[in-house]
Structure 1
């Protein structure tokens, strides 16, 4: 719990430092860094290490770690090969930014490629730490590296903003170097210590962390090497699907660099709620559903009280995230311009930024409902059903790439959000159909959580009308009018919360018992 709180604190600090940086750099620079160069960096890392991580994190206690370490060190030369190849593509085959507008692009490409290689040097240490439950090391190392990166960026854009991409290149190299330094320093102290002996750590000297020839045995474990190759063949498609939007932006030129920068900032800003609120809820209650329900079995073959408990919890979760998403959507429409102006200044609040954030608020609503419904669906599905669903998702993701291209050509950056909404809507429909069929033979109907009482619907509708009128008439008329606009929004929000309190007593009780009571016990 302390590690999670520390991680949240560091993320918030990073969020604030990024907000400061946005006032000193152009949106075109942000687009090149956050989309083009970050995509290069993440692609090199993913193609160089993802398959190795999947294979090596599943090794048993009997596994010879010397062979595992030898295998993991292959990520470095593989990373060098990918870095050289992808940097050539980024320099020769994609559109190069105007040097007068965004100087030092070549330096940025080389620096981000080199940064990926530096980070790969810590890969054997990362896998060792994760495999032996040294989780805190990862949190601390990444937090320190991110804060160091942001602090250097802030200092450089304040002192020498004309350096352009060189600032972000130095910051990215610092990030990777800090990560590597944290892991090396930790293992220098940890290896051979009494704590390592208590945990039966398989490495006794620092020399054991380096690759080496092994007497009377294979340098690499053949079974593990074959497993890595199996995972490696899957990694290409997964990377394309994971970073599909950025690949479309980079290779198809559907948006200029300025629009790419604004879209990326709005995407990161809009996804804060998903990362900090929805994701922890999904992870926690996925574990709950897995423990309560027997995977792959229908209602008739499970305990009645367990099914009833799961249905009640699912109903409350659906209603909770629906209300959170509706609140964000209703108030996000009228306060997107103000939020972007506070966060990034006129660079974000002028142009397409507010429209993008308003659309993203609708996407957050769909994201919230999909997260909870898919959480239950994956907990209840049999292995065969999960495999079929994954194939369907792969086909849907490929269709999403094509849809993103055409919608973006038609509607600009808004097209990406529309494509995401359609994708999410299809996934929600599938999950709702599965849940409805799952509880068909039961008296439980958890999907009634999607139905809201009429007074609450009226409260949301009234708030939407009042705040939209306020935004249109007051938000551009000076500080006093802006204060009235904010005050009206606060009053409407209080009315909505009071209405929820009186119309949804079961939900209020659920939130108190599942969230606040736990916090009290822990404190």
Structure 2
């Protein structure tokens, strides 16, 4: 365990970000292929129902054990840890039996033409989860001993293999797309297992030969590697002194089980509501999933980096446990101005998305999924409503980043309980609104949830700056000229959608491009001081690098 943990953690985070972007791009293109090739019902069955089954089995059987076994890995009795992590296999099998029965016999049924494929899909998902869990001992060792690049390489092959198998099978027999999905899941799980075990089957003999020299970085500093052959990764093989499993880690696992259960419900809440509620058809579920993925692209690639960077900045500038009056006033003033400008930027981006989203949602969906995706008005309506959620998401990201960065420990603990209340309320509202309004209810429930969190953040920030000369929340109020131009562009783009789009999609897009440039120019004119400041900082950075 003498590898550099900090360096490996940073590398792991960096590679994970790149991999997530890669994975999202693959999923984005694959969904478009599925819509154009096999239709919306199939996409709903695969992306919502079957993937939720996989997520539930894997998360509940893997997450608690993996978290516990990664704790203080330096002092592990690896024989006990291997025995413990292998409990994920019978646990996933037990969960698989229970959940597959529920998925097939209790939840709302699929259409008759899909039922046989759907049933085999449930069995295939459960079996693929068991295969993947049988690899967890190797995955745990790779992570504990900082094999960062190995993880990324294997997961890349895993995603590419699953995608290529699925696409190849679907192109040959489009009517058996769910079977293709099931086969791809099974084969990719086998590939995942073979690659991990295969690497260590090669690595351990090589370590015995080259590890003593210390010249090869792949084998250097690994003298304490406890595994002497590939069979040591199996339960009960390594020599063990003491109990069969580590009782402390077992107790820790039970704690993580509770957390994982809550986290899974909060993370996949929308999908559970969709799955349990019989109101939405599979086609509607797939529509919501597509729109949610399209709409969240802005959150993933624009708002999330802003949120993460601003959180880091505020943690370095403002002290959690001191009132602002007792802190360095220059830093307080700078932080206030930064928050003000961040609020202004994300609010402006969100408003632009709202205005142009009302007229270009149908065009975007047509370009993404073809005629099949826009046969009904539902996808367009969903994306138009989702644009309003994006504004709230943008504001919530920045304001919550400041709140999390400046709260003291007591306030953070209190807010954690509040987040649970927000999330449970969101699930209840989602269920009610979905039964009343269909898929749009999910988006409205999300808006209510975001609005409640924003109000809490605004109250906290207002109280934080009470008694000072700063009011960073003024940045949430857009400039009047910008609002007027947005209003005029909104009307003009609606006119273009009604008169230009039916004749020429390209002309409609070109007209929107001109309006967008006009909006951008207006914003730049009203915020020229901010742009000049940014330009000066950029010039200074370039000059420092050249020196």
* TM-score, structure 2 normalization: 0.88
2:521 to 498, 504, 516: 498
Quote the Cα distance in structure 2 between the aligned partners of 1:119 and 1:515. 48
Residue 512 of structure 1: how far off its partner (Å): 5.5
1:443-458 matches, within 5 Å, as: 443-458=469-484
Q: 1:437 to 1:334 in 2, by over 3 A?
A: same
1:163 to 171, 176, 186: 176
Quote the Cα distance in structure 2 between the aligned partners of 1:38 and 1:520. 51
| 1:180 match | 193
Are 1:25 and 1:161, in contact at CA under 8 Å, matched by a contact in 2?
Answer: yes
1:199-210 matches, within 5 Å, as: 202-205=225-228, 206-210=230-234
| 2:349 match | 324
| 1:144 match | 157
Q: 1:190 to 1:459 in 2, by over 3 A?
A: farther
Structure 2 residue matching 1:105: 3-state secondary structure: helix
Q: Is 2:137 the partner of 1:113? A: no
Residue 126 of structure 1: how far off its partner (Å): 3.0
Quote the Cα distance in structure 2 between the aligned partners of 1:463 and 1:199. 63
1:459 to 479, 485, 500: 485
Higher mean alpha-carbon deviation, 14-23 vs 106-115, is at 14-23
1:324-403 matches, within 5 Å, as: 324-351=349-376, 352-403=378-429
Q: 1:23 to 1:309 in 2, by over 3 A?
A: same
| 1:285 match | 310
Q: 1:516 to 1:333 in 2, by over 3 A?
A: farther
How many residues are matched? 520
Quote the Cα distance in structure 1 between the aligned partners of 2:340 and 2:278. 44
Higher mean alpha-carbon deviation, 405-414 vs 101-110, is at 101-110
Higher mean alpha-carbon deviation, 412-421 vs 344-353, is at 344-353
Residue 444 of structure 1: how far off its partner (Å): 2.8
Quote the Cα distance in structure 2 between the aligned partners of 1:521 and 1:229. 53
Residue 51 of structure 1: how far off its partner (Å): 1.4
Gaps of 5+ in 1: none
1:429-440 matches, within 5 Å, as: 429-440=455-466
Structure 1 residue matching 2:75: 3-state secondary structure: coil
Q: Is 2:285 the partner of 1:272? A: no
Q: Is 2:242 the partner of 1:242? A: no
| 1:229 match | 254
Are 2:422 and 2:449, in contact at CA under 8 Å, matched by a contact in 1?
Answer: yes
- Per-residue CA shift, 1:415-455, capped at 9, x if unaligned? 11000010011011111111111122333322122122212
Measured on the aligned residues, the alpha-carbon RMSD in Å equals: 2.7
Quote the Cα distance in structure 1 between the aligned partners of 2:100 and 2:448. 34
Residue 520 of structure 1: how far off its partner (Å): 11
- Per-residue CA shift, 1:117-160, capped at 9, x if unaligned? 22222323333333444433333333332222222222222211
Q: 1:150 to 1:448 in 2, by over 3 A?
A: same
Quote the Cα distance in structure 1 between the aligned partners of 2:390 and 2:543. 29
Residue 281 of structure 1: how far off its partner (Å): 2.5
Q: Is 2:449 the partner of 1:423? A: yes
Are 2:158 and 2:188, in contact at CA under 8 Å, matched by a contact in 1?
Answer: yes
Are 1:145 and 1:174, in contact at CA under 8 Å, matched by a contact in 2?
Answer: no
| 2:235 match | 211
- Per-residue CA shift, 1:433-487, capped at 9, x if unaligned? 111111223333221221222121122112111111211222223x3xx222111
Are 2:56 and 2:264, in contact at CA under 8 Å, matched by a contact in 1?
Answer: yes
Higher mean alpha-carbon deviation, 168-177 vs 220-229, is at 168-177
Are 2:67 and 2:253, in contact at CA under 8 Å, matched by a contact in 1?
Answer: yes
Quote the Cα distance in structure 2 between the aligned partners of 1:281 and 1:174. 39
Residue 238 of structure 1: how far off its partner (Å): 2.4
* TM-score, structure 1 normalization: 0.92
Residue 347 of structure 1: how far off its partner (Å): 2.2
- Per-residue CA shift, 1:220-245, capped at 9, x if unaligned? 22222111111112322322222111
Quote the Cα distance in structure 1 between the aligned partners of 2:414 and 2:540. 39
Higher mean alpha-carbon deviation, 4-13 vs 441-450, is at 4-13
- Per-residue CA shift, 1:28-58, capped at 9, x if unaligned? 1111111111111100011101212332333
Quote the Cα distance in structure 1 between the aligned partners of 2:170 and 2:104. 25
Gaps of 5+ in 2: 1-10
1:62 to 69, 72, 75: 75
Structure 2 residue matching 1:218: 3-state secondary structure: coil
Quote the Cα distance in structure 1 between the aligned partners of 2:30 and 2:539. 30
| 1:474 match | 500
Quote the Cα distance in structure 2 between the aligned partners of 1:486 and 1:439. 44
Structure with bigger gyration radius:
2
Quote the Cα distance in structure 2 between the aligned partners of 1:47 and 1:328. 37
Q: 1:18 to 1:372 in 2, by over 3 A?
A: same
Q: 1:33 to 1:465 in 2, by over 3 A?
A: same
Quote the Cα distance in structure 2 between the aligned partners of 1:508 and 1:200. 54
| 1:485 match | 508
Quote the Cα distance in structure 1 between the aligned partners of 2:536 and 2:130. 47
- Per-residue CA shift, 1:48-106, capped at 9, x if unaligned? 01212332333253333433333222111111111111111111111221222554111
